[in-house]
């Protein structure tokens, strides 16, 4: 169910916050929301800043935030076919025995309300007394002249609930995304002919809430004989996300209605870009807003929004990626052919890879570690080393390759590349587990890539990131016997996007210093001495599938237990849903971590290790 407007269910003045349901703009790939409110003194609440949360995590910064009435005026002037996203239902009591002056104040207030909202807003009006009188759909700009000439209705036993249901039905037939039901009443209702019973207004409130309609009530005093029942009716009516502005004098009726209209006009129209995974994979997601109003924070639960899978969105990037992969494969074949036909030293892409490999071996890195660094710097070209012509060992630019030790190390590196390329079971246990959980849970590819980088050794995910389409398909099919979701056609498309995200991560890291942190298990469930790599940035530790580092062997670990962050080469830790200790001392907030610190999480104790060094880009000069 979409979220209701956040309103107090009391008759006294209190801050009123309004949030429309998310309005999907599939063409632009955006969510559009209308957000605002009204203060205790009737002034509009105007958010100065809005922060978005998607599924409990910080979302993107809003693309824009503009005043609703100004947007509507500009849009209406630019296009005669523009339609207001707002639809309004109006129900008001129109009988002779309402307090003196209230009828005139009501009409003036209603006219003022509709003068403030967009002129092209569709409006559905229902007057009521003993019976109701619906009026065909009007535009907000037409309301004033249409209502003043209608005579009073018979009103000895007003039927409020029936009038609301009639108007609600008409309003629900409107195509507007944001629907508001405005009720002006004294709360009297007679559900039977004897006049001894009122309708069930809690049931009426549920109908309005389930329809996703925002309820606003302006009330004025009923006759003394009906005051008790009327008050109960109004409390029940606004009990589920409704707003009630109680008035005592006729002038207050007019000002209350005008204030509500101005509050809607002053709402902020917020545009938020949809995450990649939402646009392409769809699903149901939770949206929450954190407003800053007059320096104070206010949270609004917008609710869950269903996003259809955008297959057409997915085909375009997939076609591009497949084309790029095909092009890369062609380049690799071309380079291999040229490498066989001419000695190393030709002006082609393989030179940079060979030079980088020479520099890494010269620095004393193992073949496995060198392959990790080469994959980071040359994700699309490192494969050329597997079939490189032996003449490279005679090239004077690479003196280390002319030694027995250097040549053996390079041949080890080539063997790693060849064995990885010929192995149909390239997807190790950890990688397969992350892929299957992420594809089943429809997680965004960049988030999956971060999780893989945190949980899977770099040489494994490096090989996965440069797999060709056929090779990837074979590996997924082989793993599909244990994890059926990986054998589906959709899994192949998602895996291609994850590969691209991993390669992008490698490219972004080129030329920068490398800071690496990891945890070494000292005690607790699991293998003693096991290492858990911590990628830079924000890393969540816990049992939940979307944690970058999963600790699911320990029953005392929370879903999102703690967070370790890295900034400019320095690490820190802070608890989230669980208890942690650093150097045997309980931690309640953010604490800096140093190399060798002990961390107690659940039943386990880890030793934190970190190191900073240059990457491939820095090693080239020494090649």
State the DSSP string of 301-363.
Answer: EEEEEEE---HHHHHHHHHHHHHHHHHHHHHHHHHHHHHHHS-TTSSSTHHHHHHHHHHHHHT
Over residues 177-201, the mean pLDDT reads 85
Examine residue 387 and state whether it is found in any structural domain, yes or no. yes
Residue 100 to residue 570: CA distance in whole angstroms: 72
Instruction: Identify the pLDDT of residue 443.
Output: 75
- Which of 420, 441, 456 corresponds to the end of one domain? 420
Tell me if 229 sits within 8 A of 246, measured CB to CB.
Answer: no
Instruction: Identify the pLDDT of residue 327.
Output: 52
Q: Burial-class residue 236 by CB neighbours within 10 Å (0-12, 13-18, 19+).
A: buried
To which residue do tokens 């699903």 refer? Answer: 283
- Which of 494, 509, 524 corresponds to the end of one domain? 509
CATH number for 31: 3.40.50.410
* pLDDT of 166 over the 90 cut: yes
Q: Which helix (DSSP H) or strand (DSSP E) does residue 612 occupy?
A: strand 604-613
3-state DSSP assignment of residue 374: helix
Q: Which helix (DSSP H) or strand (DSSP E) does residue 5 occupy?
A: none
CATH number for 578: 2.60.200.20
Tell me if 95 sits within 8 A of 152, measured CB to CB.
Answer: yes
Share of the chain above pLDDT 90, in %: 21
Q: Which of 238, 288, 215, 294 is CA-nearest to residue 43?
A: 294
Residues 131 and 187 in one domain: yes
To which residue do tokens 């869950």 refer? Answer: 304
Residue of higher predicted confidence among 599 and 490: 599
pLDDT digits (tens, 9 = 90+) for 101-118: 999 999 999 999 999 999
Examine residue 299 and state whether it is found in any structural domain, yes or no. no
Residues 33 and 146 in one domain: yes
Residues 376 and 481 in one domain: no
Return the half-sphere exposure (C-beta side, CA atoms, 13 A cut-off) of residue 475: 28
Examine residue 623 and state whether it is found in any structural domain, yes or no. no
Greatest mean pLDDT among 166-170, 476-480, 605-609 lies in 166-170
Residues 357 and 215 in one domain: no
Tell me if 180 sits within 8 A of 264, measured CB to CB.
Answer: yes
* pLDDT of 342 over the 50 cut: no
Alpha carbon distances (Å) from 211 to 161, 237, 301, 597: 16, 14, 17, 55
Residues 544 and 585 in one domain: yes
Over residues 120-125, the mean pLDDT reads 94
Instruction: Identify the pLDDT of residue 75.
Output: 86
Range(s) of the domain holding residue 593: 514-616
Instruction: Identify the pLDDT of residue 145.
Output: 63
Tally the domains of the chain: 4
Q: Residue 405 — very low, low, confident or very high, per pLDDT cuts 50/70/90?
A: confident
* pLDDT of 31 over the 70 cut: yes
Over residues 221-245, the mean pLDDT reads 88
Residues 6+ apart with CB under 8 A from 364: none
Tell me if 5 sits within 8 A of 214, measured CB to CB.
Answer: yes
Residue 588 to residue 17: CA distance in whole angstroms: 33
User: Token pair for residue 218?
Assistant: 């302006």
Residue 459 to residue 143: CA distance in whole angstroms: 70
3-state DSSP assignment of residue 256: helix
Whole-structure pTM value: 0.51
3-state DSSP assignment of residue 611: strand
**DSSP-derived pairing of the beta strands 57-58 and 49-54:** antiparallel
Over residues 127-146, the mean pLDDT reads 86
Q: How many C-beta atoms lie closer than 10 Å to residue 325's C-beta?
A: 19
Over residues 22-45, the mean pLDDT reads 81
Residues 490 and 534 in one domain: no
Instruction: Identify the pLDDT of residue 63.
Output: 85
Residue 206 to residue 175: CA distance in whole angstroms: 21
Q: Residue 95 — very low, low, confident or very high, per pLDDT cuts 50/70/90?
A: very high
Residues 283 and 164 in one domain: yes
Instruction: Identify the pLDDT of residue 425.
Output: 47
Q: Residue 613 — very low, low, confident or very high, per pLDDT cuts 50/70/90?
A: very low
Tell me if 191 sits within 8 A of 203, measured CB to CB.
Answer: no
Q: Residue 10 — very low, low, confident or very high, per pLDDT cuts 50/70/90?
A: very low
Over residues 89-94, the mean pLDDT reads 95
Residues 99 and 207 in one domain: yes
Over residues 385-399, the mean pLDDT reads 77
* pLDDT of 130 over the 60 cut: yes
Examine residue 621 and state whether it is found in any structural domain, yes or no. no
- Which of 509, 539, 555 corresponds to the end of one domain? 509
Residues 6+ apart with CB under 8 A from 425: 475, 478, 479
Over residues 154-175, the mean pLDDT reads 91
User: Token pair for residue 364?
Assistant: 């004393």
Instruction: Identify the pLDDT of residue 339.
Output: 43
Q: Burial-class residue 298 by CB neighbours within 10 Å (0-12, 13-18, 19+).
A: middle
Residues 272 and 138 in one domain: yes
Instruction: Tell me the helices (H) and strands (E) count for the chain, helix number first.
Output: 18, 27
Examine residue 414 and state whether it is found in any structural domain, yes or no. yes
Examine residue 301 and state whether it is found in any structural domain, yes or no. no
Residue 186 to residue 422: CA distance in whole angstroms: 80
Residues 100 and 246 in one domain: yes
Residue of higher predicted confidence among 299 and 95: 95
* pLDDT of 357 over the 70 cut: yes
Residues 484 and 521 in one domain: no
Examine residue 3 and state whether it is found in any structural domain, yes or no. no
Instruction: Identify the pLDDT of residue 386.
Output: 76
- Please provide the average confidence, as pLDDT, over all residues in the chain: 78
Residues 406 and 535 in one domain: no
Over residues 202-217, the mean pLDDT reads 91
Examine residue 8 and state whether it is found in any structural domain, yes or no. no
Instruction: Identify the pLDDT of residue 274.
Output: 80
- Angle between helix axes 404-422 and 367-377 (nearest 10 degrees) is 70
Over residues 2-11, the mean pLDDT reads 34
Over residues 183-196, the mean pLDDT reads 80
* pLDDT of 364 over the 70 cut: no
How many residues are there in the chain?
623
Instruction: Find the angle CA(564)-CA(569)-CA(571) to the nearest 5 degrees.
Output: 25
* Residue 76 CA from chain centroid, whole number: 30
Instruction: Identify the pLDDT of residue 431.
Output: 80
- Angle between helix axes 429-440 and 445-455 (nearest 10 degrees) is 160
């Amino acid at each position: 169910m979409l979220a209701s407007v956040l309103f107090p269910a009391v008759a006294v003045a209190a801050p009123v916050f309004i949030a429309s349901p998310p309005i999907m703009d599939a063409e632009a790939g955006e969510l559009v929301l209308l957000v605002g409110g009204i203060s205790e003194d009737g002034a509009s609440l105007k958010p100065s800043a809005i922060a978005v949360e998607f599924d409990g995590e910080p979302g993107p910064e809003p693309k824009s935030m503009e005043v609703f009435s100004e947007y509507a005026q500009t849009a209406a002037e630019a296009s005669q076919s523009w339609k207001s996203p707002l639809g309004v239902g109006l129900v008001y009591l129109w009988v002779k025995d309402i307090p003196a002056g209230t009828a005139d104040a009501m009409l003036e207030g209603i006219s003022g309300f509709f003068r403030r909202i967009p002129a092209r807003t569709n409006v559905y009006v229902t007057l009521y007394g003993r019976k109701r009188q619906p009026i065909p759909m009007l535009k907000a700009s037409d309301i004033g002249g249409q209502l003043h000439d209608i005579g009073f209705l018979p009103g000895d036993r007003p039927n409020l609930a029936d009038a609301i249901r009639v108007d609600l039905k008409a309003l629900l037939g409107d195509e507007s995304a944001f629907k508001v039901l405005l009720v002006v009443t004294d709360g009297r209702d007679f559900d039977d002919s004897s006049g001894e019973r009122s309708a069930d207004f809690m049931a009426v409130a549920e109908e309005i809430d389930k329809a996703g309609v925002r309820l606003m009530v302006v009330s004025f005093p009923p006759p003394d004989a009906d005051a008790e029942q009327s008050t109960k009716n109004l409390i029940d009516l606004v009990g589920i996300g409704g707003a009630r502005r109680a008035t005592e004098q006729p002038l207050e009726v007019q000002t209350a209605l005008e204030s509500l209209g101005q509050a809607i006009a002053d709402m902020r129209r917020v545009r938020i870009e949809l995450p990649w995974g939402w646009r392409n994979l769809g699903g149901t997601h939770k949206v929450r807003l954190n407003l800053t109003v007059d320096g104070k924070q206010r949270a609004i639960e917008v609710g869950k929004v269903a996003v259809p899978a955008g297959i057409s969105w997915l085909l375009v990037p997939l076609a591009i990626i497949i084309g790029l992969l095909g092009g890369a494969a062609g380049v690799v074949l071309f380079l291999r052919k040229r490498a066989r036909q001419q000695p190393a030293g030709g002006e082609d892409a393989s030179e940079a890879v060979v030079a980088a490999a020479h520099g890494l071996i010269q620095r004393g890195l193992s073949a496995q570690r060198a392959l990790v660094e080469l994959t980071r710097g040359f994700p699309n070209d490192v494969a050329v080393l597997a079939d490189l012509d032996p003449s490279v060992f005679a090239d004077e630019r690479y003196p280390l390759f002319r030694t027995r030790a250097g040549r053996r190390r390079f041949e080890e590196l080539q063997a790693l590349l060849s064995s990885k390329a010929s192995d149909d079971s390239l997807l190790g246990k950890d990688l397969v587990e992350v892929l299957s959980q992420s594809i089943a849970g429809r997680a965004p590819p960049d988030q999956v890539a971060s999780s893989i980088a945190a949980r899977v050794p770099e040489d494994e995910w490096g090989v996965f990131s440069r797999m060709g389409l056929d090779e990837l398909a074979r590996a997924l099919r082989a793993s599909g016997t244990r994890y059926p979701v990986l054998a589906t056609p959709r899994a192949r498309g998602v895996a291609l996007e994850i590969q691209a995200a991993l390669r992008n991560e490698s490219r972004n890291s080129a030329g920068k210093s490398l800071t690496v942190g990891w945890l070494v298990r000292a005690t607790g469930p699991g293998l003693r001495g096991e290492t858990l790599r911590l990628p830079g940035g924000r890393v969540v530790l816990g049992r939940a599938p979307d944690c970058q580092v999963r600790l699911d062997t320990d029953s005392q670990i929370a879903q999102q237990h703690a967070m370790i962050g890295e900034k400019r080469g320095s690490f820190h830790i802070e608890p989230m849903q669980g208890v942690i200790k650093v150097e045997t001392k309980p931690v309640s907030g953010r604490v800096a971590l140093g190399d060798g610190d002990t961390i107690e999480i659940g039943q386990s104790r880890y030793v934190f290790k970190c190191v900073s060094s240059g990457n491939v880009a820095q090693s080239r000069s020494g090649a």
